[in-house]
Amino acid sequence: MKIAVTGAGGYIGAHIVDEALSRGHEVLAIDVSLKNISDKAIKKNIDIFATHENIFEALGKPDVLIHLAWRDGFIHNSEQHMKNLSSHIEFIRDFVKAGGKNIAVMGSMHEVGYHEGAVDEDTPTNPESQYGIAKNAMRESLMLASKELAFNLYWLRAYYIFGDDAYGSSIFSKLTRAANNGETSFPFTTGKNLYDFIHVKDLAKMIVAASTQDKVTGVINVATGKARSLADQVEWFIKEHNWPIKLAYGAFPDRPYDSPGIWADATKINEIMENYD
């Protein structure tokens, strides 16, 4: 298939490009900076929010569009989320009207807000950050648009991502930088919250698998479906790297809006991955 990936130069994008190429797909990598992208991909420096006569044609008429592009994704209360929301929706609608049929969009557990337990496609959402509100509104708008304009929508809801940690903004990235700086103590919360952790390469595999099939659409959790405490995951991460870092538990308070335990119902993605592997 021919796959276009917006935001290809971002934290997840390069891994998706590599996974799609490894599966024999033709990949069009789209971003303002593509320095970390494989030369096996076709690279396009395109402003997706600019006016295009035919955005579907400008992106190479792909069979699938994987839309990752999102400004300030790690800054959850940035003003950019709501400012850019309508531009993201307009971009997808214009792409479909010009001929696009299969659209995969990166979602987030932050759409859900405070919730205890497993999350499936019918779980009510009540986001508590500007990022979550914008993603939730985009999902709701595109779900309606998929019926109106008759295209396949894959809303790929991700959870707690780690891996390639020198480039991210997660606690694992902060730990990596602390270790590189020779620090031996790391301020931490209680670490009791339960999350669904996934390595970015495994996430990329799920995203490509979900985006290149047509039997399962709508909201798809791209996650393991397993809950693990933040403390256990971070302690494991430190041990894996053999770092002399000790966690200073309780140095930071637990955030009141963080769920005590939130993880994915992985029924859909497990079905998809059975046919992918």
Taken as a whole, the chain contains a residue count of 277
Per-domain boundaries in the chain: 2-161+197-226+263-276, 162-194+227-248
10 neighbors 159 (Cβ within 8 angstroms): no
Instruction: Return the pLDDT at 74.
Output: 83
Going by the DSSP 8-state scheme, the letter that residue 261 receives in this structure is B
pLDDT of residue 105: 98
Q: Side-chain half-sphere of 90: how many Cα atoms within 13 Å?
A: 10
Residue 187: what pLDDT? 96
- For the chain, residues with pLDDT lower than 50 are none
Query: What is the pLDDT at residue 52?
Result: 87
Tokens at 164, concatenated = 């390639």
With 0-12 / 13-18 / 19 or more C-beta atoms within 10 angstroms meaning exposed / middle / buried, residue 115 is middle
Up-side HSE of residue 165: CA atoms within 13 Å toward CB? 21
Looking at residue 198, its pLDDT comes to 97
The per-residue pLDDT for 2 is: 98
DSSP 101-132: -EEEEEEEGGGTBS--EEE-TTS--B--SHHH
> Residue 88: exposed, middle, or buried by beta-carbon count in 10 A (0-12, 13-18, 19+)?
buried
Read off the pTM.
0.94
What is residue 33's predicted lDDT score, i.e. its pLDDT?
86
By annotation, the residues acting in catalysis are 131
Beta bridge partners of 18: none
The neighbour count for residue 114, using CB atoms within 10 Å, is: 13
Rounded CA-CA distance 38/30 in Å is 12
- pLDDT tens digit sequence for 113-136: 999 999 999 999 999 999 999 999
What's the Cα-to-Cα distance from 108 to each of 68, 123, 244, rounded to whole Å?
A: 11, 13, 33
- Considering the segment(s) 2-161+197-226+263-276 as one domain, its CATH architecture is 3-Layer(aba) Sandwich (3.40)
Q: Give pLDDT, residue 36.
A: 85
Distance, CA of 195 to CA of 233 (rounded, Å)? 9
pLDDT of 200 reads 95
- Segments of the chain assigned E as strands: 2-6, 26-30, 42-44, 64-67, 102-108, 117-119, 152-158, 160-162, 185-187, 194-195, 197-199, 218-222, 228-229, 246-248, 262-264
**From the CB of residue 24, how many other CB atoms can be counted at a distance below 10 Å?**
7
Answer yes or no: are the C-beta atoms of 5 and 13 closer than 8 Å: yes
Which pLDDT does position 169 carry in this prediction?
A: 75
**How far apart, in whole angstroms, are the C-alpha atoms of residue 267 and residue 252?**
35
13-50 tens-digit pLDDT: 999 999 999 999 999 999 988 888 999 999 999 999 98
